[in-house]
Amino acid sequence: MWTLPQGNLQLQWALQRSGLVFDQCALISNSEHEIWVQQLLSQLTKDPPAGHARVSTGQIIRADREMFTLIAQEIEGSLQPDAAGRFPMEKEMKELRTDPRVTMDMLPLPKRPPKGVAKAATSAPPTGGNPRPPAKSLCPQEIKGFS
pLDDT at 143: 75
pLDDT at 30: 92
CB 32 within 8 A of CB 93: yes
The pLDDT tens digits for 25-74 are 999 999 999 999 999 999 988 899 999 999 999 999 999 999 999 999 99
Query: Which burial class, exposed, middle or buried, applies to 62 when counting CB atoms under 10 A from its CB (0-12, 13-18, 19+)?
Result: middle
Q: Residue 101 carries which side chain, given as an amino acid letter?
A: R
Residues in CB range of 94: below 8 A, 6 or more apart: 32
pLDDT at 126: 56
When pLDDT is averaged across residues 70-88 and rounded to a whole number, the result is: 87
The pLDDT tens digits for 91-145 are 999 999 999 999 999 999 998 876 765 555 555 555 555 666 666 667 777 777 7
pLDDT at 31: 93
CB 28 within 8 A of CB 93: yes
Domain locations in the chain? 10-43+54-113
pLDDT at 7: 76
Extract the runs of DSSP E, i.e. beta strands, from the chain: none
pLDDT at 103: 92
Residues in CB range of 20: below 8 A, 6 or more apart: 30
pLDDT at 119: 56
Say whether pLDDT at 1 is over 50: no
Query: Which burial class, exposed, middle or buried, applies to 33 when counting CB atoms under 10 A from its CB (0-12, 13-18, 19+)?
Result: buried
